Amino acid sequence: MKFRTLALAAVVFAITVPTGSGAQEATGIVAYRETAMKALGAHSGALKSILTDQTQLMDQVGIHARAIADIAAAIPAMFPEDSLDPPTEALPSIWEDPDGFQAAADRLAKLAGDLDAAAGSGDAQASLAAFAAMGKDGCGGCHADYRKKN
Amino acid sequence: MHILFVLPLAVGVIAGASSALAQNQPADRGELLFDIGGCTNCHTTREGPALAGGDPIVSPFGTFYPPNITPDAATGIGGWSDADFIKAMREGISPEGDPYYPAFPFTSYTHMSDADLIALKGYLDTIEPVEASSPDHELKMPVWPYLDIPLDLRVALWGWRWLFFEPERFEPVADRDEVWNRGAYLTLGPGHCAECHTPRNLFGALDHARDWSGNPDGAEGENVPAITADAAGIGDWSEGDLSLFLQLGMLPDGDFAGSGMAKIINNGTSKLPDEDRNAIITFLKNLP
Protein backbone atom coordinates (compact mmCIF):
# COMPACT_ATOMS: atom_id res chain seq x y z
CA MET A 1 0.00 0.00 0.00
CA LYS A 2 2.94 2.35 0.73
CA PHE A 3 3.99 2.53 -2.90
CA ARG A 4 0.44 3.10 -4.06
CA THR A 5 0.03 5.91 -1.58
CA LEU A 6 3.20 7.53 -2.86
CA ALA A 7 2.07 7.17 -6.43
CA LEU A 8 -1.16 8.83 -5.45
CA ALA A 9 0.55 11.66 -3.60
CA ALA A 10 2.61 12.37 -6.70
CA VAL A 11 -0.55 12.74 -8.72
CA VAL A 12 -2.50 14.95 -6.39
CA PHE A 13 -0.01 17.16 -4.60
CA ALA A 14 -1.18 20.38 -6.18
CA ILE A 15 -4.91 19.84 -6.10
CA THR A 16 -7.18 21.65 -3.70
CA VAL A 17 -10.91 21.32 -3.41
CA PRO A 18 -13.12 24.19 -2.25
CA THR A 19 -15.11 23.41 0.87
CA GLY A 20 -18.13 24.89 2.58
CA SER A 21 -18.34 28.13 4.52
CA GLY A 22 -18.06 28.63 8.28
CA ALA A 23 -20.83 28.78 10.83
CA GLN A 24 -23.61 31.28 10.20
CA GLU A 25 -26.56 32.54 12.26
CA ALA A 26 -30.06 31.89 10.97
CA THR A 27 -32.22 34.99 10.47
CA GLY A 28 -35.87 35.80 9.68
CA ILE A 29 -38.31 33.00 9.04
CA VAL A 30 -35.53 30.40 9.08
CA ALA A 31 -34.55 31.46 12.60
CA TYR A 32 -38.19 31.32 13.68
CA ARG A 33 -38.91 27.88 12.35
CA GLU A 34 -35.66 26.43 13.64
CA THR A 35 -36.63 27.70 17.08
CA ALA A 36 -40.12 26.24 16.71
CA MET A 37 -38.57 22.93 15.68
CA LYS A 38 -36.32 23.05 18.75
CA ALA A 39 -39.49 23.48 20.80
CA LEU A 40 -40.81 20.27 19.22
CA GLY A 41 -37.52 18.65 20.18
CA ALA A 42 -37.92 19.84 23.77
CA HIS A 43 -41.48 18.43 23.96
CA SER A 44 -40.24 15.11 22.57
CA GLY A 45 -37.41 15.06 25.09
CA ALA A 46 -39.90 15.74 27.88
CA LEU A 47 -42.13 12.90 26.64
CA LYS A 48 -39.24 10.46 26.54
CA SER A 49 -38.31 11.46 30.06
CA ILE A 50 -41.84 10.87 31.39
CA LEU A 51 -42.46 7.64 29.50
CA THR A 52 -39.16 5.96 30.28
CA ASP A 53 -38.30 7.37 33.67
CA GLN A 54 -40.80 9.70 35.37
CA THR A 55 -43.86 7.52 34.84
CA GLN A 56 -45.56 8.95 37.93
CA LEU A 57 -46.14 12.04 35.75
CA MET A 58 -48.06 10.16 33.05
CA ASP A 59 -50.87 12.69 33.37
CA GLN A 60 -48.54 15.31 31.86
CA VAL A 61 -48.04 13.42 28.60
CA GLY A 62 -51.14 15.03 27.10
CA ILE A 63 -49.77 18.54 27.60
CA HIS A 64 -46.75 17.82 25.40
CA ALA A 65 -48.69 15.74 22.89
CA ARG A 66 -51.24 18.51 22.36
CA ALA A 67 -48.52 21.14 22.03
CA ILE A 68 -46.85 19.02 19.35
CA ALA A 69 -50.17 18.57 17.52
CA ASP A 70 -50.77 22.35 17.56
CA ILE A 71 -47.30 23.18 16.30
CA ALA A 72 -47.53 20.44 13.65
CA ALA A 73 -50.58 22.13 12.15
CA ALA A 74 -48.56 25.34 11.89
CA ILE A 75 -45.51 23.81 10.16
CA PRO A 76 -46.48 24.36 6.50
CA ALA A 77 -46.89 28.13 7.06
CA MET A 78 -43.33 28.26 8.44
CA PHE A 79 -41.99 27.30 5.01
CA PRO A 80 -42.96 30.02 2.52
CA GLU A 81 -41.90 29.31 -1.09
CA ASP A 82 -38.12 29.06 -1.49
CA SER A 83 -37.21 30.27 2.00
CA LEU A 84 -33.79 28.67 1.74
CA ASP A 85 -31.48 31.25 3.31
CA PRO A 86 -28.43 29.59 4.83
CA PRO A 87 -27.88 27.95 7.23
CA THR A 88 -31.27 26.35 6.64
CA GLU A 89 -31.49 22.57 6.65
CA ALA A 90 -34.69 22.65 4.59
CA LEU A 91 -34.59 20.88 1.21
CA PRO A 92 -36.06 22.28 -2.03
CA SER A 93 -38.21 19.13 -2.16
CA ILE A 94 -40.58 20.96 0.27
CA TRP A 95 -41.75 23.18 -2.59
CA GLU A 96 -41.39 20.59 -5.35
CA ASP A 97 -43.81 18.38 -3.44
CA PRO A 98 -46.01 20.67 -1.32
CA ASP A 99 -48.74 18.04 -0.96
CA GLY A 100 -46.27 15.53 0.44
CA PHE A 101 -44.95 18.12 2.89
CA GLN A 102 -48.47 19.04 4.01
CA ALA A 103 -49.26 15.34 4.42
CA ALA A 104 -46.14 14.90 6.58
CA ALA A 105 -47.26 17.74 8.87
CA ASP A 106 -50.80 16.30 9.02
CA ARG A 107 -49.38 12.89 9.88
CA LEU A 108 -47.48 14.31 12.84
CA ALA A 109 -50.61 16.11 14.06
CA LYS A 110 -52.56 12.87 13.85
CA LEU A 111 -49.92 10.75 15.58
CA ALA A 112 -49.57 13.34 18.36
CA GLY A 113 -53.36 13.16 18.75
CA ASP A 114 -53.10 9.36 19.01
CA LEU A 115 -50.52 9.79 21.75
CA ASP A 116 -52.78 12.21 23.61
CA ALA A 117 -55.60 9.66 23.38
CA ALA A 118 -53.40 6.77 24.52
CA ALA A 119 -52.15 8.79 27.49
CA GLY A 120 -55.75 9.76 28.32
CA SER A 121 -56.61 6.07 28.64
CA GLY A 122 -53.78 5.71 31.18
CA ASP A 123 -52.16 2.77 29.36
CA ALA A 124 -48.38 3.20 29.72
CA GLN A 125 -47.38 0.57 27.12
CA ALA A 126 -49.82 1.97 24.55
CA SER A 127 -48.55 5.50 25.27
CA LEU A 128 -44.98 4.42 24.74
CA ALA A 129 -45.87 2.71 21.46
CA ALA A 130 -47.77 5.83 20.37
CA PHE A 131 -44.77 8.00 21.27
CA ALA A 132 -42.44 5.75 19.28
CA ALA A 133 -44.74 5.91 16.25
CA MET A 134 -45.05 9.68 16.54
CA GLY A 135 -41.29 10.17 16.67
CA LYS A 136 -40.33 7.69 13.99
CA ASP A 137 -43.08 8.31 11.46
CA GLY A 138 -44.16 11.82 12.47
CA CYS A 139 -40.85 13.64 13.05
CA GLY A 140 -38.45 11.22 11.34
CA GLY A 141 -40.85 10.66 8.44
CA CYS A 142 -40.76 14.33 7.48
CA HIS A 143 -37.05 14.84 8.19
CA ALA A 144 -36.22 11.85 5.96
CA ASP A 145 -37.66 13.54 2.90
CA TYR A 146 -37.43 17.28 3.51
CA ARG A 147 -34.38 18.02 5.63
CA LYS A 148 -30.67 17.47 5.24
CA LYS A 149 -28.02 17.76 7.91
CA ASN A 150 -25.74 20.81 7.66
CA MET B 1 -17.32 -4.92 29.01
CA HIS B 2 -20.57 -6.83 28.74
CA ILE B 3 -22.47 -3.60 29.15
CA LEU B 4 -25.36 -4.51 26.94
CA PHE B 5 -26.65 -7.15 29.21
CA VAL B 6 -27.33 -4.46 31.79
CA LEU B 7 -29.01 -1.96 29.48
CA PRO B 8 -31.00 0.60 31.41
CA LEU B 9 -34.61 -0.25 32.06
CA ALA B 10 -35.70 2.48 29.69
CA VAL B 11 -34.33 0.55 26.74
CA GLY B 12 -36.19 -2.54 27.79
CA VAL B 13 -39.39 -0.54 27.88
CA ILE B 14 -38.71 1.02 24.50
CA ALA B 15 -37.83 -2.39 23.12
CA GLY B 16 -41.29 -3.44 24.28
CA ALA B 17 -42.71 -0.51 22.35
CA SER B 18 -40.77 -1.49 19.27
CA SER B 19 -42.17 -5.00 19.31
CA ALA B 20 -45.62 -3.42 19.59
CA LEU B 21 -44.66 -1.45 16.48
CA ALA B 22 -42.81 -4.09 14.58
CA GLN B 23 -44.94 -5.06 11.61
CA ASN B 24 -42.05 -5.80 9.33
CA GLN B 25 -39.55 -7.90 11.23
CA PRO B 26 -37.45 -9.79 8.70
CA ALA B 27 -38.69 -13.32 8.07
CA ASP B 28 -35.30 -14.85 7.28
CA ARG B 29 -31.58 -14.15 6.98
CA GLY B 30 -31.87 -12.96 3.38
CA GLU B 31 -34.49 -10.36 4.25
CA LEU B 32 -32.54 -9.25 7.32
CA LEU B 33 -29.44 -8.66 5.17
CA PHE B 34 -31.54 -6.86 2.61
CA ASP B 35 -32.93 -4.56 5.34
CA ILE B 36 -29.62 -3.74 7.00
CA GLY B 37 -27.97 -3.55 3.56
CA GLY B 38 -30.22 -0.60 2.71
CA CYS B 39 -30.70 -1.78 -0.90
CA THR B 40 -34.10 -0.05 -1.01
CA ASN B 41 -32.59 3.29 -0.03
CA CYS B 42 -30.72 3.58 -3.31
CA HIS B 43 -32.48 1.22 -5.71
CA THR B 44 -36.10 2.36 -5.22
CA THR B 45 -37.53 5.78 -6.00
CA ARG B 46 -39.88 7.37 -3.53
CA GLU B 47 -43.04 6.37 -5.37
CA GLY B 48 -41.76 3.69 -7.71
CA PRO B 49 -41.86 -0.11 -7.62
CA ALA B 50 -39.40 -1.87 -5.28
CA LEU B 51 -35.81 -2.09 -6.58
CA ALA B 52 -36.70 -1.11 -10.15
CA GLY B 53 -34.09 1.71 -10.08
CA GLY B 54 -33.52 4.54 -7.64
CA ASP B 55 -33.48 8.31 -7.37
CA PRO B 56 -30.34 9.95 -8.78
CA ILE B 57 -27.38 10.16 -6.38
CA VAL B 58 -25.68 13.54 -6.74
CA SER B 59 -22.00 13.45 -5.79
CA PRO B 60 -18.86 15.47 -6.50
CA PHE B 61 -18.18 12.90 -9.22
CA GLY B 62 -21.44 13.49 -11.03
CA THR B 63 -24.90 11.98 -10.92
CA PHE B 64 -25.45 8.24 -10.60
CA TYR B 65 -28.68 6.45 -11.48
CA PRO B 66 -28.92 3.23 -9.44
CA PRO B 67 -30.04 0.42 -11.73
CA ASN B 68 -32.96 -2.00 -11.64
CA ILE B 69 -32.06 -4.99 -9.43
CA THR B 70 -35.41 -6.81 -9.61
CA PRO B 71 -35.31 -10.37 -11.05
CA ASP B 72 -36.43 -9.12 -14.48
CA ALA B 73 -34.24 -11.02 -16.95
CA ALA B 74 -33.93 -8.27 -19.56
CA THR B 75 -33.51 -5.09 -17.49
CA GLY B 76 -32.82 -6.37 -13.97
CA ILE B 77 -30.57 -9.08 -12.58
CA GLY B 78 -32.93 -12.01 -13.25
CA GLY B 79 -30.44 -13.81 -15.45
CA TRP B 80 -27.61 -13.70 -12.90
CA SER B 81 -26.07 -16.78 -11.30
CA ASP B 82 -25.09 -16.82 -7.64
CA ALA B 83 -21.48 -16.49 -8.80
CA ASP B 84 -22.34 -13.34 -10.81
CA PHE B 85 -24.01 -11.83 -7.77
CA ILE B 86 -21.14 -12.68 -5.43
CA LYS B 87 -18.66 -11.19 -7.89
CA ALA B 88 -20.65 -7.95 -8.11
CA MET B 89 -21.05 -7.59 -4.35
CA ARG B 90 -17.61 -8.79 -3.25
CA GLU B 91 -15.43 -7.59 -6.12
CA GLY B 92 -17.47 -4.81 -7.68
CA ILE B 93 -17.23 -6.44 -11.11
CA SER B 94 -20.20 -6.95 -13.44
CA PRO B 95 -21.00 -10.24 -15.20
CA GLU B 96 -19.52 -8.64 -18.35
CA GLY B 97 -16.28 -8.00 -16.46
CA ASP B 98 -16.64 -4.22 -16.10
CA PRO B 99 -15.83 -2.50 -12.79
CA TYR B 100 -18.60 -0.74 -10.89
CA TYR B 101 -18.38 2.78 -9.51
CA PRO B 102 -17.97 2.89 -5.74
CA ALA B 103 -21.25 4.85 -5.53
CA PHE B 104 -22.43 1.24 -5.24
CA PRO B 105 -21.04 0.40 -1.78
CA PHE B 106 -19.52 -2.94 -2.80
CA THR B 107 -16.51 -1.55 -0.93
CA SER B 108 -18.42 -2.51 2.25
CA TYR B 109 -20.46 -5.45 0.96
CA THR B 110 -17.12 -7.07 0.08
CA HIS B 111 -16.91 -8.08 3.75
CA MET B 112 -20.02 -10.28 3.53
CA SER B 113 -19.75 -14.07 3.59
CA ASP B 114 -20.67 -16.23 0.59
CA ALA B 115 -23.50 -17.82 2.57
CA ASP B 116 -24.95 -14.42 3.39
CA LEU B 117 -24.65 -13.19 -0.19
CA ILE B 118 -26.49 -16.27 -1.43
CA ALA B 119 -29.20 -15.76 1.20
CA LEU B 120 -29.51 -12.12 0.10
CA LYS B 121 -29.82 -13.13 -3.54
CA GLY B 122 -32.48 -15.66 -2.52
CA TYR B 123 -34.48 -12.79 -1.04
CA LEU B 124 -33.98 -10.55 -4.09
CA ASP B 125 -35.30 -13.39 -6.26
CA THR B 126 -38.65 -13.11 -4.42
CA ILE B 127 -39.13 -9.45 -5.44
CA GLU B 128 -41.65 -8.68 -8.17
CA PRO B 129 -39.74 -8.44 -11.50
CA VAL B 130 -40.15 -5.05 -13.16
CA GLU B 131 -39.08 -4.05 -16.65
CA ALA B 132 -37.33 -0.69 -16.31
CA SER B 133 -33.98 0.80 -17.26
CA SER B 134 -32.21 3.65 -15.49
CA PRO B 135 -30.59 6.50 -17.43
CA ASP B 136 -26.81 6.46 -17.94
CA HIS B 137 -24.74 8.03 -15.18
CA GLU B 138 -23.65 11.64 -15.81
CA LEU B 139 -20.07 11.92 -14.63
CA LYS B 140 -17.54 14.68 -14.43
CA MET B 141 -13.87 14.90 -13.59
CA PRO B 142 -13.79 15.23 -9.82
CA VAL B 143 -10.41 16.92 -9.58
CA TRP B 144 -11.64 19.90 -11.57
CA PRO B 145 -14.93 20.56 -9.85
CA TYR B 146 -15.36 23.82 -11.76
CA LEU B 147 -15.59 22.13 -15.13
CA ASP B 148 -18.51 19.88 -15.87
CA ILE B 149 -16.80 17.63 -18.38
CA PRO B 150 -19.07 14.73 -19.28
CA LEU B 151 -17.00 11.60 -18.99
CA ASP B 152 -17.21 7.89 -18.90
CA LEU B 153 -14.77 7.06 -16.17
CA ARG B 154 -15.33 3.32 -16.16
CA VAL B 155 -11.92 2.69 -17.66
CA ALA B 156 -10.29 4.93 -15.05
CA LEU B 157 -11.90 2.72 -12.41
CA TRP B 158 -9.25 0.08 -12.98
CA GLY B 159 -6.68 2.57 -11.69
CA TRP B 160 -8.94 3.50 -8.83
CA ARG B 161 -9.31 -0.12 -7.84
CA TRP B 162 -5.58 -0.69 -8.05
CA LEU B 163 -5.04 2.17 -5.61
CA PHE B 164 -7.94 1.78 -3.25
CA PHE B 165 -9.73 -1.52 -3.42
CA GLU B 166 -9.00 -5.10 -2.53
CA PRO B 167 -11.81 -7.66 -2.25
CA GLU B 168 -12.05 -8.71 1.37
CA ARG B 169 -14.03 -10.91 3.67
CA PHE B 170 -14.80 -10.20 7.28
CA GLU B 171 -12.42 -12.05 9.59
CA PRO B 172 -13.59 -12.35 13.21
CA VAL B 173 -11.15 -10.74 15.63
CA ALA B 174 -9.93 -13.45 17.99
CA ASP B 175 -9.57 -11.37 21.15
CA ARG B 176 -13.04 -9.87 20.85
CA ASP B 177 -16.17 -11.70 21.94
CA GLU B 178 -18.94 -13.02 19.73
CA VAL B 179 -21.23 -10.02 20.28
CA TRP B 180 -18.55 -7.55 19.23
CA ASN B 181 -17.71 -9.61 16.15
CA ARG B 182 -21.35 -9.89 15.19
CA GLY B 183 -21.68 -6.11 15.50
CA ALA B 184 -18.46 -5.51 13.58
CA TYR B 185 -19.66 -7.71 10.71
CA LEU B 186 -23.05 -5.98 10.47
CA THR B 187 -21.54 -2.49 10.73
CA LEU B 188 -18.60 -2.93 8.34
CA GLY B 189 -20.31 -5.29 5.90
CA PRO B 190 -24.01 -5.14 5.06
CA GLY B 191 -24.65 -2.04 7.23
CA HIS B 192 -22.05 -0.09 5.17
CA CYS B 193 -21.95 2.52 7.95
CA ALA B 194 -18.42 3.65 7.01
CA GLU B 195 -19.57 4.69 3.53
CA CYS B 196 -21.09 7.81 5.07
CA HIS B 197 -19.40 8.16 8.46
CA THR B 198 -15.80 7.89 7.20
CA PRO B 199 -14.49 10.82 5.13
CA ARG B 200 -13.29 10.33 1.55
CA ASN B 201 -10.14 11.42 -0.22
CA LEU B 202 -10.05 13.39 -3.47
CA PHE B 203 -10.77 10.25 -5.42
CA GLY B 204 -13.84 9.35 -3.48
CA ALA B 205 -12.18 6.47 -1.62
CA LEU B 206 -12.74 6.01 2.10
CA ASP B 207 -9.92 7.57 4.11
CA HIS B 208 -9.39 4.81 6.68
CA ALA B 209 -6.79 6.84 8.55
CA ARG B 210 -9.77 8.94 9.67
CA ASP B 211 -12.29 6.14 10.13
CA TRP B 212 -15.65 7.16 11.64
CA SER B 213 -14.68 10.82 11.95
CA GLY B 214 -17.64 12.01 9.88
CA ASN B 215 -17.88 13.55 6.42
CA PRO B 216 -18.75 17.24 6.03
CA ASP B 217 -19.20 16.68 2.27
CA GLY B 218 -21.37 13.58 2.37
CA ALA B 219 -23.66 12.42 -0.43
CA GLU B 220 -26.35 14.97 -1.29
CA GLY B 221 -24.24 17.63 0.46
CA GLU B 222 -25.04 16.18 3.84
CA ASN B 223 -22.84 16.83 6.87
CA VAL B 224 -22.43 13.36 8.33
CA PRO B 225 -21.46 13.45 12.02
CA ALA B 226 -18.54 11.58 13.58
CA ILE B 227 -19.42 8.43 15.49
CA THR B 228 -16.05 7.95 17.19
CA ALA B 229 -16.01 7.09 20.90
CA ASP B 230 -14.73 10.53 21.95
CA ALA B 231 -16.60 13.78 22.58
CA ALA B 232 -16.48 14.67 18.86
CA GLY B 233 -18.50 11.54 18.21
CA ILE B 234 -20.89 9.60 20.40
CA GLY B 235 -18.65 9.28 23.44
CA ASP B 236 -21.25 10.79 25.73
CA TRP B 237 -24.17 8.71 24.40
CA SER B 238 -25.36 5.87 26.60
CA GLU B 239 -26.27 2.45 25.19
CA GLY B 240 -29.87 3.46 25.82
CA ASP B 241 -29.42 6.61 23.70
CA LEU B 242 -27.98 4.52 20.87
CA SER B 243 -30.74 1.96 21.14
CA LEU B 244 -33.44 4.63 20.92
CA PHE B 245 -31.62 6.23 18.01
CA LEU B 246 -31.26 3.03 15.99
CA GLN B 247 -34.92 2.15 16.65
CA LEU B 248 -36.65 5.52 16.32
CA GLY B 249 -34.07 8.00 15.06
CA MET B 250 -34.40 10.00 18.26
CA LEU B 251 -31.29 11.96 19.26
CA PRO B 252 -30.51 12.59 22.93
CA ASP B 253 -31.68 16.23 22.60
CA GLY B 254 -35.16 15.25 21.35
CA ASP B 255 -34.40 15.91 17.65
CA PHE B 256 -35.02 13.17 15.08
CA ALA B 257 -32.54 12.15 12.38
CA GLY B 258 -33.29 13.00 8.77
CA SER B 259 -32.40 12.06 5.22
CA GLY B 260 -29.72 9.40 4.72
CA MET B 261 -29.72 8.20 8.31
CA ALA B 262 -33.52 8.14 8.63
CA LYS B 263 -33.61 5.68 5.74
CA ILE B 264 -30.91 3.51 7.32
CA ILE B 265 -32.99 3.46 10.52
CA ASN B 266 -36.46 3.02 9.01
CA ASN B 267 -35.53 0.37 6.47
CA GLY B 268 -32.70 -1.19 8.45
CA THR B 269 -31.69 -0.87 12.09
CA SER B 270 -35.26 -0.46 13.41
CA LYS B 271 -36.23 -3.81 11.87
CA LEU B 272 -33.33 -5.79 13.29
CA PRO B 273 -33.90 -8.27 16.10
CA ASP B 274 -32.71 -6.81 19.42
CA GLU B 275 -29.60 -9.04 19.56
CA ASP B 276 -28.34 -7.73 16.22
CA ARG B 277 -29.03 -4.10 17.05
CA ASN B 278 -27.38 -4.48 20.45
CA ALA B 279 -24.37 -6.11 18.78
CA ILE B 280 -24.01 -3.04 16.55
CA ILE B 281 -24.21 -0.86 19.67
CA THR B 282 -21.47 -2.91 21.36
CA PHE B 283 -19.27 -2.41 18.33
CA LEU B 284 -20.00 1.34 18.14
CA LYS B 285 -19.31 1.88 21.84
CA ASN B 286 -15.91 0.26 21.35
CA LEU B 287 -14.81 2.25 18.29
CA PRO B 288 -11.46 3.98 18.76
User: Is residue B203 pLDDT above 90, yes or no?
Assistant: no
Of B107, B71, B115, the C-alpha closest to B90 is: B107
Model pTM score: 0.90
Q: Given CB atoms, is B22 within the 8 Å cutoff of chain A?
A: no
Predicted pLDDT of residue B58: 87
Q: Which residues, listed in sequence order, are joined to residue B59 by a DSSP beta bridge?
A: B62
Q: What residues of chain B lie within 8 A of the CB of A91, using their CB?
A: 259
Pick among A58, A128, A134 to test the B interface (most B CBs inside 10 A): A128
Range of the domain at B21: 8-285
User: Is residue B9 pLDDT above 80, yes or no?
Assistant: no
How confident is the model over B207-232, as pLDDT tens digits? Answer: 999 999 999 988 778 899 999 999 99
* Closest-CA distance of chain B to residue A52, Å: 5
User: Is residue B191 pLDDT above 70, yes or no?
Assistant: yes
Mean pLDDT over B25-43 rounds to 95
User: Is residue B17 pLDDT above 60, yes or no?
Assistant: no
User: Is residue A12 pLDDT above 90, yes or no?
Assistant: no
For A112-116, B16-20, B183-187, B207-211, which range has the lowest pLDDT when averaged over its residues? B16-20
For A15-19, B90-94, B120-124, B141-145, which range has the lowest pLDDT when averaged over its residues? A15-19
Eight-state DSSP code of residue B48: S
For B106, other C-beta atoms within 10 Å of its C-beta total 22
Of A106, A117, A129, A135, the C-alpha closest to A46 is: A135
The number of domains in chain B is: 1
Is residue B3 included in any domain, yes or no? no
Does the domain formed by A26-146 have CATH 3.40.50.300?
no
**Domain boundaries defined on chain A:** 26-146
Is residue B199 included in any domain, yes or no? yes
Of A68, A147, A49, A148, the C-alpha closest to A108 is: A68
B89-92 long-range contacts, CB within 8 A, separation 24+: B89/B117, B89/B120, B90/B117, B90/B167, B90/B169, B91/B167, B92/B161, B92/B165, B92/B167
Which of B13, B216, B262 lies closest to A20 in CB terms? B216
Q: Which of residues 21-80 of A touch B (CB under 8 A)?
A: 37, 40-46, 48, 51-53
Please state, in angstroms and as integers, the Cα–Cα distance from residue B242 to each residue in B134, B138, B247, B271, following that order. 37, 38, 8, 15
Predicted pLDDT of residue B240: 94
Is residue B178 included in any domain, yes or no? yes
Contact B53, B132 (CB under 8 A): yes
Find out whether the peptide bond into A87 is cis, omega within 30 degrees of 0: yes
Is residue B126 included in any domain, yes or no? yes
Q: What residues of chain B lie within 8 A of the CB of A51, using their CB?
A: 13
Contact B187, B280 (CB under 8 A): yes
Predicted pLDDT of residue B142: 54
Is residue B136 included in any domain, yes or no? yes
Close Cβ partners of B177 (under 8 Å, ≥ 6 residues apart): B2
